[in-house]
Amino acid sequence: MELLLLIVLSLSAKFSFGFSEWTHEMVLDGEGILRVQWMAMPGGKVIRFKVTGRTLGWMGIGFSPNGGMAGADITLLWVQDHTGTPHALDMYAKGEERPVLDDKQDVTVESGQQNETHTDIVFLKYLQDCSYNGQDFPLGEGTVRLIWSWHPEDPEGKEDSWTPKYHDRSRRGTRSVYLFSPPLENNLSPAEERNFKKWDILSPDVEIPSDRDTLYWCKIFKVPPEIQARPHHMIGYVPVIEADHEVYVHHMLLYECSLPAHSKLTSSGVFEKYVSHAGAPCYAPNMPISWNYCQKEIVAWAVGSEGEYLPERVGIPLADEHRGATYMMMEIHYNNPTLQKGIVDRSGVRVYYTEELRPIEASTLLTGHKVTFMQVLPPGRPRFTSHTICSEHCTRQAIPEDGIKVFQVFLHSHLTGREIHVRHFRNGKELSPIASDAYYDFNYQQAHILPKPVTVLPGDILLTECVYDTTDRHNVTLGGFSTREEMCLAFLKYYPKLEFDHCLSLPVYESYMETLGIQEFYDLEDFRIRDYQSLNLEDETDETGKVESPLAVESSLIRKESNVLKTHLIVKEPEDLRNLSFYEILHQTDWNPKVSEKLQFRFLHGKHIPICRKTGQQLYDYPKEVEYPDVSEISYHKCLKASGTRPNFTLSFTIAFLFLFPLHFLH
């Protein structure tokens, strides 16, 4: 029966897809020696792989919980010299040592061949359920660390005692992938390329500072004249990174600039004067007030991402006259951890757009933790969670009766982030997560393309939760814009387009006070959420022209917020803590497990401050504090929950049969 099944699966793949039509493809190493292609087979419980290598020896690919050998699920591949017999062995690594055979072989070789220089092997891998037996790693819908290696010679031994010869460091590595994500539709044919227009939005010779590791640079851009003249839709984007600058460009965001509906000013009157300027450090004193109205993200790129393309019926409108925005602000986060000197950057994004309007217009909703120094992560914790809420009060006010459909999610945190989950609740019951990544990789931040759109209705609750590992930190980690600080964000692309763009939260200040024994701060109300409507554009002065380079900037938001913690947020009671700053208390606290767990409990069971915004303005018709829902801890790792490890024969055979004979039935 299993032999028949393998024949059916193989034939279905050959006839329906063709040997070269794989849904995913990746070059694993910098020299192009190893390439892997794959596709999920009908039934969803088998993956078909093809590995091609510039070697006549063995090749290995595996799946690892952390990118290392220990605990990795490895497939060893080679075509035997002299006989030409292809082999695929299911192995695992107990530690940083040679892998050994699995007790049960869950891979089957389909074909393999060699020429004078290359080896390629096609094999099937059966997927396990959620239980991890230490040999077969459960593959889920989030990030998977794919490890690879190769050797110029075949393994030693024979039959059940094959042993791969040791590979040196130059012949191994790791790449992060989404195995089950629908393919990114960015392999455009030349004809498609000609049909889409391009708009390159590039930074204007930004000098990356060498005296600090972080710079956020912002600049205002204006859409091309033809976009203003007649309607166009944005349909995708790709990064344009200057050669050899991949290490410096961490993420890029493109925001629409829109004034509040009640404003008497026009976008051109406010933003036009900045188009010719080189820009300014984001969130710094020299950044004009009006740039705070550039807050709806339509592009969110981060390191590891290839870009994004919208579904074929979906577009994002451009220009004020056509339900979009005429002015955009690009924000680039530069990371220079080794403090290199003399780096001048011209990176950015290439936006694809078309005048062939699509029937569905999309937008972006930002959920997660407000970026603020009040996000506190205790040190030395292997698992600490930031809990955030997009409350039912907000969705009930902002989402229409028919709801919105989320079709793509971009998850983002920094160096200590290990998991990110967007949980979904309706009428007190938890639905399947909208997006979930149990093995988040800071260096691989590709958007999650959902298999099918998820409907969010008014009154639904979205919990964006980030899990961090701070075991290598000796003091608290605060939220902020630096890579060494933390974030917890999810950018949800949805349709139909609404003026609904922010649904964030942060724990109330009392959560920290109760944990750390603080009874009262002086002037706490001065540090409550600032409403953008309080910004007075008439008082704005153009300061960007005074900024010759990032090095001329005396302070940034990061420094400013640190100073607030050190000099302004001061304890009034109790007496033994009086006049100590919140910063001093955070850094003097003994963050033992009991204290850390108490803070974690307060986040999960305490109140949160919701932040609910339409374009350019705060919504008011909801409580200023909300209770975090009473939810239990769950296993987020979405892996196969089938009772067995083999595909459903009836379904697979039916699909394969239809693939093989569709024309016969039609005629």
3-state secondary structure of 195: helix
pLDDT tens, position by position, 123-138: 998 876 655 566 777 7
- Are the C-beta atoms of 151 and 160 separated by less than 8 Å? no
Highest mean pLDDT among 13-22, 93-102, 197-206, 305-314: 197-206
Higher-confidence position of 546 and 146 = 146
Q: How confident is the model at residue 661 (pLDDT cuts 50, 70, 90)?
A: very low
d(CA 631, CA 438): 18
Q: What Å distances lie between residue 120 and 85, 88, 218, CA to CA?
A: 12, 11, 47
Report CA dihedral (100, 104, 108, 114) to the nearest 10 degrees: 10
- Are the C-beta atoms of 380 and 474 separated by less than 8 Å? yes
418 sits in which H/E element = strand 417-426
Q: What is the pLDDT of residue 616?
A: 58
d(CA 661, CA 170): 47
d(CA 402, CA 381): 42
d(CA 553, CA 546): 10
- pLDDT of residue 114 exceeding 80: yes
d(CA 73, CA 146): 10
What is the set of active-site residues?
216, 412
Q: What is the pLDDT of residue 639?
A: 52
Tell which residue, 199, 181, 193, has the closest CA to residue 39: 181
Higher-confidence position of 425 and 646 = 425
| Residue burial 217-233, b: 16+ Cβ < 10 Å; e: rest | bbbbbbbbeebbeebbb
Identify the residue whose tokens are 């108490």: 598
Structural domains in the chain, sorted by start: 2-177 (2.60.40.1210), 193-360 (2.60.120.310), 362-536+557-636 (2.60.120.230)
Q: What is the pTM of this model?
A: 0.76
Tell which residue, 489, 437, 459, has the closest CA to residue 297: 489
- pLDDT of residue 281 exceeding 70: yes
Q: What is the pLDDT of residue 538?
A: 59
Say what percent of the chain tops pLDDT 90. 35
- Are the C-beta atoms of 227 and 242 separated by less than 8 Å? no
Gap between the terminal Cα atoms of the chain = 31
Of 3-7, 402-406, 575-579, least confident by mean pLDDT is 3-7
- Are the C-beta atoms of 375 and 384 separated by less than 8 Å? no
pLDDT tens, position by position, 293-313: 887 888 888 776 778 888 888
d(CA 571, CA 521): 4
d(CA 227, CA 229): 5
Average model confidence (pLDDT) across the chain:
80
d(CA 91, CA 102): 5
Q: What is the pLDDT of residue 634?
A: 54
CA angle 452, 437, 372 (to 5 degrees): 110
3-state secondary structure of 281: strand
Q: What is the pLDDT of residue 246?
A: 81
Q: How confident is the model at residue 229 (pLDDT cuts 50, 70, 90)?
A: very high
pLDDT tens, position by position, 242-273: 888 888 888 898 989 988 767 778 888 889 99
Q: Is the peptide bond before 574 cis (omega within 30 degrees of 0)?
A: yes
Long-range contacts of 572-576 (CB under 8 A, 24+ apart): 572/519, 572/520, 572/521, 572/522, 573/518, 573/519, 573/520, 574/517, 574/518, 574/519
- Are the C-beta atoms of 406 and 493 separated by less than 8 Å? yes
Total number of residues shown for the chain:
667
Q: Is the peptide bond before 496 cis (omega within 30 degrees of 0)?
A: yes
- Are the C-beta atoms of 640 and 128 separated by less than 8 Å? yes
Q: What Å distances lie between residue 207 and 215, 336, 377, 552, CA to CA?
A: 10, 11, 32, 11
Q: Tokens for 586, please give them.
A: 């955070």
The three-state (H, E, C) secondary structure of 298-359, written as one string: EEEEECCCCCEECCCCEEEECCHHHCCCCEEEEEEEEECCCCCCCCEECCEEEEEEECCCCC
Identify the residue whose tokens are 């039609």: 666
d(CA 649, CA 661): 18
Identify the residue whose tokens are 């699995």: 102
3-state secondary structure of 627: strand
| Residues near 632 by beta carbon (within 8 Å), at least 6 away in sequence | none
The DSSP string of 104-149 is S--EEEEEEEE-SS-EEEEEEEEPPBS---SSSPPP-SS-EEEEEE
Residue 419 neighbours by CB distance under 10 Å: 22
| Residues near 231 by beta carbon (within 8 Å), at least 6 away in sequence | 317, 318, 319, 322, 355, 357
pLDDT tens, position by position, 601-648: 999 888 999 988 876 566 656 788 898 887 765 555 555 443 333 333
d(CA 278, CA 160): 65
Average pLDDT estimate for 82-94: 86
- pLDDT of residue 650 exceeding 80: no
pLDDT tens, position by position, 434-492: 999 888 887 777 788 888 899 999 999 999 999 999 999 999 999 887 778 899 999 99
Alpha helices in 211-309 (DSSP H): 225-229, 267-271
Question: Taking phi first (over 0 means left), then psi (-120 to 50 degrees means alpha), and beta for anything else, what does residue 427 get?
Answer: left
d(CA 113, CA 84): 7
Q: How confident is the model at residue 8 (pLDDT cuts 50, 70, 90)?
A: very low
Q: What Å distances lie between residue 270 and 258, 264, 288, 327, CA to CA?
A: 10, 11, 10, 10
- Are the C-beta atoms of 445 and 305 separated by less than 8 Å? yes
Q: What is the pLDDT of residue 648?
A: 34
Highest mean pLDDT among 37-51, 107-121, 130-144: 107-121
Q: What is the pLDDT of residue 394?
A: 92
CA angle 358, 492, 181 (to 5 degrees): 85
- pLDDT of residue 35 exceeding 80: yes
Identify the residue whose tokens are 């409108």: 317
